[in-house]
Amino acid sequence: MLRIALALTCLVAIEHRAHAIAACGNGEGWALAPGATLPVHPRLVYFLDGRRGPPRNPKLDATIDGKAVPVKLTFAPAAPFQLAMIEIDSDLPGKLALTWGEGTQANGYFQPDARTAAYTIAAKLKLPAEAKGKSSRFHRAYHHSTVHESDDGLEVAVDAPAIAFTARWRRTDKDAWSTLEMTATTVDGHQVARLGALGCSANFDPAVLEKGIDLELEALLTDGKKVKVVGLPAHVVLAPLPKNAPQSSP
């Protein structure tokens, strides 16, 4: 069994995650932070609180250099989120501006400052054929009066513009493989996948990660292609939290 020492970052905070609206809301946001450079005919993801399912009557407006362009919009579950899978159906370069229409609020949470985004589409942008990954443990404790909320688990940062991830995992080589879909998020300028406790919900049990899993990871990039995440051990073991690590309350 190959055990890796995962870097650990412990933070204490009483405020909610970016884009969260209320205690235990899963939050929402752009999987790739606005301001990034995209290839022509780009793909993007906006993640939403998945408890309500996809929004009814969704509408997303897009312009390139101020002129309207068509958008293909579909939804896919990636617990605890719902992913809005966005395809800009145009091969034009230029300044891309996105705005959610009012209809998206019927069955989901959208904040005014999160409903618009701007990117630059470059005509000759070439994306990598694979993504290099680096693993660490993420941990953040929240404090509320009545509910328990914590972020804790395995984080894999990649050097490519990932907008979503697919993980294949198993506990041992005697077990069948399971598949997990995840949103990407931007953390400290890097695109990351997170497995573990995510607020009041979770997509993975951190205790299982501490015992170790076989892990294979693919990243969905902004050109719509999936690439392999390399640089990770075949068997990942999450380092335990220090005894003095911050704990959420109550």
Q: What is the rounded CA–CA span in Å between residue 225 and residue 238?
A: 29
- 8 A C-beta contact, residue 141 and residue 248: yes
> Which stretch of DSSP H or E encloses residue 83?
strand 81-88
Residues 151-172 have a mean pLDDT of: 97
CB neighbour class for 39 (10 Å; exposed up to 12, middle 13-18, buried from 19):
buried
pLDDT band (50, 70, 90) for residue 23: low
Q: Which residues contact 51 (CB under 8 A, 6 or more apart)?
A: 26, 80
Omega before 250 cis (within 30°)? yes
The reported pLDDT for the residue numbered 105 is: 42
User: Which among 143, 197, 198, 164 is positioned nearest to 19, based on CA atoms?
Assistant: 198
Token pair of 51 as six digits: 């408890």
Q: Is the pLDDT of residue 8 over 70?
A: no
Q: Is the pLDDT of residue 169 over 50?
A: yes
pLDDT band (50, 70, 90) for residue 141: confident
- 8 A C-beta contact, residue 142 and residue 13: yes
Q: What is the pTM of this model?
A: 0.86
Q: Which residues contact 72 (CB under 8 A, 6 or more apart)?
A: 86, 87, 89
The reported pLDDT for the residue numbered 244 is: 85
- 8 A C-beta contact, residue 227 and residue 218: yes
Q: Which residues contact 13 (CB under 8 A, 6 or more apart)?
A: 140, 141, 142
- 8 A C-beta contact, residue 5 and residue 181: no
The residue among 76 and 148 whose pLDDT is bigger is: 76
User: Which among 159, 165, 126, 100 is positioned nearest to 40, based on CA atoms?
Assistant: 126
Percentage of the chain surpassing pLDDT 70? 83
All domains of the chain in start order, with CATH: 7-17+127-236 (2.60.40), 29-122 (2.60.40.1220)
Q: What is the rounded CA–CA span in Å between residue 128 and residue 106?
A: 38
Segment among 4-8, 79-83, 89-93 with least mean pLDDT: 4-8
Q: Is the pLDDT of residue 227 over 50?
A: yes
Q: Is the pLDDT of residue 241 over 60?
A: yes
Amino acid letter at 157? Answer: A
Q: Is the pLDDT of residue 21 over 60?
A: no
The reported pLDDT for the residue numbered 233 is: 96
CB neighbour class for 108 (10 Å; exposed up to 12, middle 13-18, buried from 19):
buried
The reported pLDDT for the residue numbered 88 is: 98
Could you report the per-residue pLDDT of 25-61, keeping only the tens digit for each?
Answer: 567 889 999 999 999 999 999 998 888 788 878 889 9
- 8 A C-beta contact, residue 82 and residue 54: yes
Residues 74-99 have a mean pLDDT of: 96
The reported pLDDT for the residue numbered 219 is: 98
User: Which among 97, 102, 118, 82 is positioned nearest to 201, based on CA atoms?
Assistant: 82
User: Which among 44, 62, 65, 67 is positioned nearest to 101, based on CA atoms?
Assistant: 62
Q: What is the rounded CA–CA span in Å between residue 94 and residue 91?
A: 10
The reported pLDDT for the residue numbered 4 is: 40
Mean pLDDT, the chain, whole residue set: 85
Residue reference for tokens 């896919």: 76
Could you report the per-residue pLDDT of 180-201, keeping only the tens digit for each?
Answer: 999 999 999 999 999 999 988 8
